[in-house]
């Protein structure tokens, strides 16, 4: 057994099908550093942050210091690569999600939706200016698309408007569920051009006149994340701050397709976190004179949780391979997101059931995964919307409307 194999066995003991074996030594070293950071710095406080709906203060800065876009470790053994491998990106999301779903969502909104809004939607000048600062975490971003009355139907239902007025645009409307807008430096925000009826993208700053942001309270899931409402009243945005390559919903959809795979990865990691939390519990909890891990019915449920995880890991890894080859297919990503989120919901339910009454207490971890799974099931395309994407491909008929 090589040194890399030993580290992988310790880092991912739940990887029964050796999906992680394709990672390079440099990638494994980086992932070990990431896991060590999470466990040593944030393990003791993560449940308190969830209960109190607070963000771990240093998390965003710590992730920036890891330099996960350009760390030399990620290019060792992948000669000629210009970006980290898709398999690495799967395991990075997996590793953070296994620790906490809120933290991986914080990261996913910034490095996925927000970053890609600038990467895909920006002009050459905008990409050159913003992308290095976003990748280093010098700047923080989010993604402002969803509205109070429009989630699944944003393709044709945006009510936030943009009106051209000389060399600037005047924006009015409201956005909802925008994670981290209150702590972002720049916000890619989408509004309908009133003259053309087509959506466009704009770079908004929280301190601008006419921008009012408030945090949504009393959530039962992703409590660590400050989801927000953004209210826009006659907000003036210069033409130079319009994302030049966002001129239709197809342009926005490209961003969504690129990140939907990331949610499939998050769901897989969350399954691993739920399994770990459940195993920790059953090996300590005694009933009728022995640890409950020794009972047949418990072991059957644990086996199902492991089976769901192994299925999701292989599905995610194959999706990563496809994307590594440039195959960004909406049906494939919708299938992975739909199935992994569904299996996550099933797994956390079994884990919560196994842990009995204690399973509703945050101190036992499974309660956090149980609750947060509900958000994963919904965001980046609900189960039903992803099913309709797949159904359209199977039948040739669109059943959206």
Residues 6+ apart with CB under 8 A from 46: 56, 99, 100, 103, 368
**Banded model confidence at residue 380, pLDDT cuts 50, 70, 90:** confident
Q: pLDDT (tens digit, 9 = 90+) per residue, 34-71? A: 999 999 999 999 999 999 999 999 999 999 999 999 99
Q: Kindly list the structural domains of the chain, giving each domain's residue range(s) and its CATH number in brackets, ordered by start.
A: 3-136 (1.10.540.10), 161-247 (2.40.110.10), 250-395 (1.20.140.10)
57 as an active site residue: the answer is no
Q: Identify any residues that bridge with 171 across adjacent strands, giving them in sequence order.
A: 162, 235
pTM of the model: 0.95
Report pLDDT for 351: 98
Q: What is the DSSP string of 144-201?
A: B--BTTBSTTHHHH---EEEEETTEEEEEEEEEEEETGGG-SBEEEEEEETTT--EEE
Report pLDDT for 373: 98
**325 φ/ψ sector (left φ>0, alpha ψ -120 to 50, else beta):** alpha
Catalytic annotation, pick one of 27, 147, 330, 380: 380
Q: Identify any residues that bridge with 169 across adjacent strands, giving them in sequence order.
A: 164, 237
Mean pLDDT of 188-195: 96
Q: pLDDT (tens digit, 9 = 90+) per residue, 210-240? A: 999 999 999 999 999 999 999 999 999 999 9
């Amino acid at each position: 057994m090589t040194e890399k194999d030993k580290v992988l066995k310790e880092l991912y003991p739940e990887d029964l099908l050796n999906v992680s074996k394709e990672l390079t030594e440099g990638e494994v070293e980086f992932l070990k550093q990431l896991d060590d950071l999470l466990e040593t710095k944030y393990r003791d406080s993560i449940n308190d942050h969830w209960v109190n709906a607070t963000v771990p203060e240093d998390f965003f800065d710590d992730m920036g210091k890891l330099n996960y876009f350009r760390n030399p470790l990620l290019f060792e053994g992948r000669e000629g690569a210009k970006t980290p491998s898709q398999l690495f990106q799967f395991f990075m999301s997996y590793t953070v999600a296994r620790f906490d779903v809120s933290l991986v969502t914080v990261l996913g909104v910034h490095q996925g939706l927000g970053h890609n809004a600038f990467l895909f939607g920006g002009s050459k000048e905008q990409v050159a200016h913003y992308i290095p600062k976003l990748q280093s975490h010098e700047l923080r971003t989010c993604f402002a698309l969803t509205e109070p009355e429009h989630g699944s139907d944003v393709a044709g239902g945006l009510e936030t408007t943009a009106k051209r007025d000389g060399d600037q645009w005047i924006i009015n409307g409201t956005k909802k569920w925008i994670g981290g807008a209150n702590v972002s430096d720049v916000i890619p925000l989408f509004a309908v051009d009133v003259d053309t009826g087509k959506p466009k993208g704009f770079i908004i700053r929280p301190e601008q006149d006419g921008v009012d942001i408030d945090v949504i309270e009393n959530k039962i899931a992703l409590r660590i994340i400050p989801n927000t409402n953004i209210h826009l009243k006659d907000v003036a945005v210069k033409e130079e701050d319009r994302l030049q390559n966002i001129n239709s919903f197809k342009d926005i959809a490209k961003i969504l397709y690129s990140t939907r795979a990331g949610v499939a990865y998050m769901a897989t990691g969350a399954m691993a976190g739920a399994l770990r939390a459940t195993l920790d519990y059953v090996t300590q909890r005694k009933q009728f004179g022995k640890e409950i891990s020794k009972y047949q019915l418990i072991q059957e449920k644990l086996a199902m949780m492991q089976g769901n995880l192994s299925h999701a890991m292989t599905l995610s890894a194959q999706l990563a391979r496809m994307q590594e080859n440039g195959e960004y297919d909406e049906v494939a990503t919708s299938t992975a997101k739909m199935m992994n989120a569904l299996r996550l919901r099933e797994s956390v339910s079994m884990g919560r059931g196994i842990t009995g009454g204690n399973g509703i207490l945050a101190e036992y971890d499974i309660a956090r995964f149980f609750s947060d799974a509900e958000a994963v099931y919904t965001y980046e395309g609900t189960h039903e919307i992803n099913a309709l994407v797949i159904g359209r491909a199977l039948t040739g008929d669109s059943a959206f409307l």
